[in-house]
Amino acid sequence: MSAHTSTVLVDGVRRLEDAGRLDPLVAALAAVAEPLDRTRWSGVLRADLLGHALHPLLTDLPLGCWTSAVLLDLRGRPGDRAASRTLVAAGLAAVVPTAVTGLAEWARTGRAERRVGAAHAALNGLAAGLFTVSLLARGRGRHRLGTVSALAGAGVVGASGYLGGHLTTARKVGSRDPAFQVPAEAALP
């Protein structure tokens, strides 16, 4: 692939970066994120003491729990149902701190990154909703609906993860200690 070749995914993310229709969602998120960024806790939420953003680390909690639940569901053993339900619940419990730390990072981004971040947040909200449906269904003994909802949630969280990866890798969103900055002469061509 040449330096100027685009893929469908790259083109799609570039369209998101330019999508003014996301600006109302951006404004709604900003109404929460910007005051959060002005609190005395903003450095904790960005993990200034760790030297880099906390959000990517926290994403492993819901993703790991939900992936494990889906794998147990796909194995299809009735004895795994309680573990799957527990994993879905644990993943949901991890959503709030993960989202709050993501908002803390997002508060300091530019327009294109905010639009992609808003789509990322919306997809995460949808995924959390699907996993909530999964948890409720499982609690009512409707394991098949719980499994289908979890599978749908896993698909949505995968799309969201792509956008989160774009933000951290391509757009370099994420706080980091200045000591971790790569000098220009050391950067790859």
> Which residue from 158, 146, 154 is spatially nearest to 84, judged by alpha carbons?
146
pLDDT tens, position by position, 82-94: 999 999 999 999 9
Report the pLDDT averaged over residues 66-94. Answer: 97
Asked whether residue 171 is assigned to any structural domain, the reply reads yes
Measured CA angle at 89 (ends 83, 92), to 5 deg: 145
Checking if the pLDDT of 5 tops 90, the result is no
Do residues 114 and 108 touch, judged by C-beta distance below 8 A?
Answer: no
Mean of pLDDT over the chain: 92
Question: Looking at the 3D structure of the chain, how many domains does it have?
Answer: 1
Asked whether residue 100 is assigned to any structural domain, the reply reads yes
pTM assigned to the model: 0.90
- What residues make up the domain containing 33? 20-50+78-176
Please give the pLDDT value at position 49: 83
Asked whether residue 98 is assigned to any structural domain, the reply reads yes
Q: At 52, is the secondary structure helix, strand, or coil?
A: strand
Checking if the pLDDT of 14 tops 60, the result is yes
CA 133 – CA 164 distance, rounded (Å): 24
